[in-house]
Structure 1
Amino acid sequence: MEDTFDPYLVEESSSAAAAFPAKDPDHGWQKVTYAKRQRRSSNAADPNRHHPNGLPHAGDSSHVFASVEQKALERRRALESATAVAVVAEAGTTAPRSRPAAATSDDEDDDSGAEASRGGQENGEAAKKVKQKKPKKPKVTVQEAASKIDAGDLGAFLVEVSVSYESQQDIQLMRFADYFARSFAPVSGSQFPWTKMFKESPVSKIADIPLCHISESVYKTSVDWISQKSTDALGDFVLWCLDAILSDLASLQAAARGSKKSVQQSPAKAQVAIFVVLAMTLRRKPDILINLLPTLRENPKYQGQEKLPVIVWAIAQVSQGDFAIGMYLWAHFLLPLICGKLSGNPQSRDLVLQLAERILSGPKARPILLNGAVRKGERLIPPAALDLLMRASFPSPNARVKATERFEAVYPTLKELALAGSPGTKSTKQASQQLLPAAVKAMQENNPELTREAADIFIWCLAQNPDCYKLWEKLHLENMNASVAILQKLSSEWKDYSTKLSPPDALRETLKHLRAKTRRMMDSSAPYVILGVLYAYLLSLSWTPDTLRMMFASKYWLPELPGIAKMFANEMTLASAWIHLLAVDLFAARCLMMV
């Protein structure tokens, strides 16, 4: 499409141009001006608009914040320069970062300067926090901290404490523990993970922790001072130490389980010190733990599988000071635990057996234990403990476990300790009177190995105490199987027992009495009365279908019954025949006993 020229438009434009006066040099164009900008520039150029101090007049609203902006700019520049100098000084780098460009637009907000100032402060503080690094403290082990303890300084401290708190031994012991807490202050928790060590290390290793790091001079100074304290004060101190250790154990377990319940946890330095002072106290005064034995048994605070390693460690410290007291605590407290409440826990059983093996393997342990087999009228291995050991060492074949062989290994020595003592003494008589009924009960359990061992202990009781013969007569009628086992053992091993039961007059008289008791029992009508009661009871039960089936199945118990089962019309008469056959067997047994 082609463009066309319209002459009418040219004429119209020329006529409009002719309408303007000829004197207008701009030919009708106007200059655009901004009155606000002109007013601002004129105000800045007028020096009379400001006070002599440089501040603008109150009525001047164009630059009300000019002085504030100026001061903010100066502060920002000073802060940036200080930040740059600090960065160069610390990092050793080159020039500081470039400052942010200032706003040049006239329309920029007046608060931008203040915001930039705050931003510069925050950036400067962040840079300082990142660059400042605290020097790492060197890790101090328990051994290093223990090596710095001076025996002379400790002795002077203990003398001062003893004088300052002469009548307050409990405070003296607390200050004693506090001295070691300050000595082990540099030790961190990672250097003494006692719960992990107790769980993963054998008893032979944990028994010397952490006392193995204490020098001989420091140890001697400490135990000599401990020996001067009263039994009551030391007992309270030992309980306080155990409570602190178990409290730390509870807090560690709560943290491992993620429990929200907060438990106060002692620092590592306090734990090291508590273990050290507790070990020293128990080794120097081992009988303290015997006095606390009722508390350990009755208070649930000291019971439980998770607390057993701490108790085993404490008894191991006692055994280091006295083998006999350590064995006493093992037999009276630990052995009943693994044969009772913790019988099904292999870890607990292993821990307790390790302690027994450690005590028995000590230098000259056997003669020391035998010499102290009876302590203040109490035996190291009481009759109840020997009964537990006998059953653990000679279980039924289907009840054997891995620990059975270890029980069998320590059983002979522990049995020797339990039976140690001179015949006729008070402790021996008491032990024999308690062991004889336990042996009779063990012989009734249809376990050949246990029966032989129990029979041997039964004969020992007869040799130690003549009153045991009378006790045998009382138990004979209710435990005839035990009497048979004893007589068989005596007849087969009479050469060995003849010297122990010499003179045999008491045994001969007892056998006569036993035979007379048996004859009187067979002559009496008591068996028939019992049989009649049983007969009536079975008849009362025979009216149920289940009981009839059971009685009919009982024909397999007696060899005579299957052949005569056809003689009876129903199951009721068959049950009656079964009862009568029992009566015939009982009568035959009576005739044999009378021969």
Structure 2
Amino acid sequence: MFEEYPLSKLIDVPISLIPKPLYEKSIDFINTLPFDTLPAFVLWSSDLILTEWPGVVKVEQRNSNKSKVATFVVLAMALRTQPDALTLVLTNMKERPTYQGQDKLPVIIWMMAQASQGDLSAGLFSWVQTLLPLVVNECCSSQAIDLILQFVEMIFSSNPEARAVLLNEPVRHGVRLIPPCSFEMFVRLTFPTPSARVESTQRFEAIYPLLKEVALAPDISANALKQIFTFSSKLAGGQGNPALANGATAIAISVLTQNVDCFKQWDVLYKENLEASVALLNELVDEWKDHSLKLSSSSSDTLTVKHAMNSFRMKNEKAITEGVANPSLYKEADQSCKLISRRLSRGIGIAPLTAMVIAAAGGVVEAGAAHALIYLARSKKSFS
């Protein structure tokens, strides 16, 4: 079965062979069971299947052990009915020798595919926790990587509402679907050095935008944002990889605009990652119109950004005065800091003006429209 079917068809085996009334009766029965019995059943049944995988049993033994077919059937129904029966035992599976080895991947991915039929986020959670590290650790053949990518591609393509579902449920069991450490793994896989690009790189690039959205989905904790900013600000320095630098810079800017308190973390990392800091400052200057409203949405946010710029300038001045070996980076950074500070100090601030415009319009003007009206008014040197 696993040799003859691609994953897209394999996912419906053996459920597609069961009469619908029988399937529905079985699901009703599974739903009556105490949930805490199901994770144990998942481990028991998958252990039974994998003990004699991949087909080392003699033919006569196979014929006398038809119960294994029933195990596949019931396991598939249990995983579709209660996907968390799988997600709660992922750690056990990673630690047990029974589940180790690339030859076991087809069955493990088949199990995850069954769970994803009941809950897309359970499927993505399983992929991130179990399969993504295998690719990063370079312990997979090209065939195994292909199967691993088939699974995550199927999660995104199987449901037209996949994006909305995953963005609305970015956390499972108190853990982000894509935690910061896993997001860093994925960024590095998506943006390898030109010489390290392989056939699978384009497939990672194709799913990157959605996975980035899920990783940065709303309600992300300040601590998670801090971790994401830390790794992205380091990668933004380039390291001889322009694609990785650009991708990491975009992530770091997104984090800064999502939580201005990350400027405090930047202040700690500023000199340690000077090239990256210069790249981030230049990006903020070049795209100021896109980010200014978020960075100055309140007086406290504006003060936080101003304080960071002042701190950066003090570091720049000290380094230049002390005669560092390469002062040009500090000088370039200082020019950007001056520009940002000047823009933050203009007029009475964009945030209060935005609030005034929205209030004057009876609350019917969106913040973006108010921002545009203010920009036009300032360009005419008048505001009424």
Q: Where does residue 232 of structure 1 map in the other structure?
A: 36
Larger RCO of the pair (alpha carbons < 8 Å, separation 6+):
2
1:511 equivalent in structure 2 = 309
CA distance in 2, matches of 1:413, 1:590: 36
Which residue number corresponds to residue 313 of structure 1? 110
CA distance in 2, matches of 1:282, 1:372: 19
Q: Does 1:435 align with 2:232?
A: no
Alpha carbons 2:284, 2:291 under 8 Å: kept: yes
CA separation in 2, counterparts of 1:370 and 1:592? 38
Indicate conservation of the 8 Å contact 1:199/1:309, yes or no: no
CA distance in 1, matches of 2:275, 2:328: 19
Identify if the C-alpha distance between structure 1 residues 306 and 505 changes in structure 2 by more than 3 Å, giving closer, same or farther: same
Q: Deviation above 3 Å: which 4+ runs of structure 1?
A: 253-256, 264-268, 521-525, 585-595
Find 2:48's aligned residue among 224, 237, 244: 244
Corresponding residue for residue 381 of structure 1: 178
- Deviations, residues 509-543 of structure 1 (Å, cap 9, x unaligned): 21210120122234448x6xxxxxxxxxxxxxxxx
Tell me which amino acid in the other structure corresponds to 1:350: D
Which residue is 2:378 aligned to?
A: none
Kindly indicate whether the alpha-carbon contact (under 8 Å) linking 1:393 and 1:411 is maintained by their aligned counterparts in 2.
yes
TM-superposed deviation, 1:394: 1.4
Residues in 1 aligned to 2:193 and 2:166: alpha-carbon distance in whole angstroms: 30
Secondary structure class of the residue paired with 1:306:
helix
After superposition, the Cα gap between the structure-2 partners of 1:467 and 1:266, relative to the gap in structure 1 and judged at 3 Å, is farther
Contact 1:332 1:382 in 2 (8 A): no
Structure-2 separation of matches of 1:473 and 1:224: 57
CA distance in 2, matches of 1:382, 1:592: 34
Question: Paired residue for 1:407?
Answer: 204
Supply the distance in 1 between the matched residues of 2:165 and 2:48 (Cα, whole angstroms): 34
Mapped contact 1:519–1:593 kept (Cα < 8 A): no
Q: What is the aligned partner in structure 2 of residue 349 from structure 1?
A: 145
Give the direction of change, closer, same or farther, for the CA distance of 1:505–1:237 in structure 2 (3 Å limit). same
Which of the residues 178, 186, 204 maps onto 2:8? Answer: 204
Q: Secondary structure at the match of 1:326?
A: helix
CA-to-partner distance for each residue in 1:128-185, whole Å, 9 max, x for gaps? xxxxxxxxxxxxxxxxxxxxxxxxxxxxxxxxxxxxxxxxxxxxxxxxxxxxxxxxxx
1:500 is aligned to 294
Which residue identity is paired with 1:442?
Answer: L
CA distance in 1, matches of 2:131, 2:334: 51
Superposed CA offset, 1:225-247 (max 9, x none): 11122233212211111111111
**Offset, 1:314:** 0.1
Structure 2 alignment gaps of length 5 or more: 336-384
1:342-383 CA-to-partner distances (Å, cap 9, x unmatched) read 35x211111111111111012222211121122353221211
- Are 2:83 and 2:119, in contact at CA under 8 Å, matched by a contact in 1? yes
Give, in whole Å, the separation in 2 of the partners of 1:274 and 1:356: 25
Shift of 1:468: 1.3
Quick check: 2:316–2:330 contact (8 Å CA) kept in 1?
A: no
**1:390-405 paired onto structure 2 within 5 Å:** 390-405=187-202
TM-score, structure 1 normalization: 0.52
Alignment TM-score, normalising by the size of structure 2: 0.79
Work out whether residues 238 and 278 of structure 1, in 8 Å CA contact, stay in contact via their aligned partners in 2.
yes
Q: Tell me how far apart the structure 1 counterparts of residues 86 and 305 of structure 2 sit (CA, whole Å).
A: 44
Match 1:326 to one of 100, 109, 123: 123
**Alpha-carbon offset, residue 502 of structure 1:** 2.6
CA 1:279/1:298 → structure 2, altered by over 3 Å: closer, same or farther? same
Q: Distance in 1 between matches of 2:233 and 2:42?
A: 42
Counterpart amino acid of 2:178? I
Residue 329 (structure 1) shift: 0.9
1:520 alignment partner in structure 2: 318
Match in the other structure for 1:362: 158
* Counterpart-to-counterpart distance in 2, 1:457 and 1:517: 24
1:200 is displaced (CA, Å) by 4.1
Query: Matched residue of 2:139: which SS?
Result: coil
1:125-140 matched pairs, under 5 angstroms:
none
The residue number in structure 1 matching 2:84 is: 287
2:99 alignment partner in structure 1: 302
Which residue matches 1:420? 217
Match of 2:372 in 1: none
| Number of residue pairs the alignment of both structures matches | 329
CA change 1:593–1:294 in 2 (3 A) is closer
Structure-1 residue corresponding to 2:72:
275
CA distance in 2, matches of 1:465, 1:266: 62
1:395-431 deviations in Å (ceiling 9; x for gaps): 1111111111111111111111111114xxxx33132
Output the CA distance in 2 between the equivalents of 1:354 and 1:593.
44
Question: Which piece of structure 1 moves more, 479-488 or 460-469?
Answer: 460-469
- Note if contact 2:260-2:305 (Cα within 8 Å) is conserved in structure 1: no
Residue matched to 1:223? 27
Following superposition, the deviation at residue 432 of structure 1 comes to 0.5
Counterpart code for 1:218: L
1:472 pairs with 259, 262, 266, which one?
A: 266
Larger radius of gyration: 1
Q: Could you list the per-position Cα deviations for residues 165-211 of structure 1 after superposition, in whole angstroms to 9, with x for gaps in the alignment?
A: xxxxxxxxxxxxxxxxxxxxxxxxxxxxx3xxx23422111111111
User: Cα gap change, 1:214/1:589 in structure 2, threshold over 3 Å: closer, same or farther?
Assistant: closer
Q: Alpha-carbon deviations, 1:16-54, whole Å to 9, x = none?
A: xxxxxxxxxxxxxxxxxxxxxxxxxxxxxxxxxxxxxxx
1:248 Cα deviation after fit: 2.1
- Whether the 8 Å contact between 2:225 and 2:262 is mirrored in structure 1 is yes
**Alignment gaps of 5+ in structure 1:** 1-193, 257-263, 528-584
Instruction: Show the counterpart of 1:484.
Output: 278
> Aligned to 2:9, what secondary structure does the other structure show?
helix
Cα distance in 2 for residues equivalent to 1:592 and 1:334: 42
Given that 1:247 and 1:265 are in contact with CA atoms closer than 8 Å, whether structure 2 keeps it comes out as no
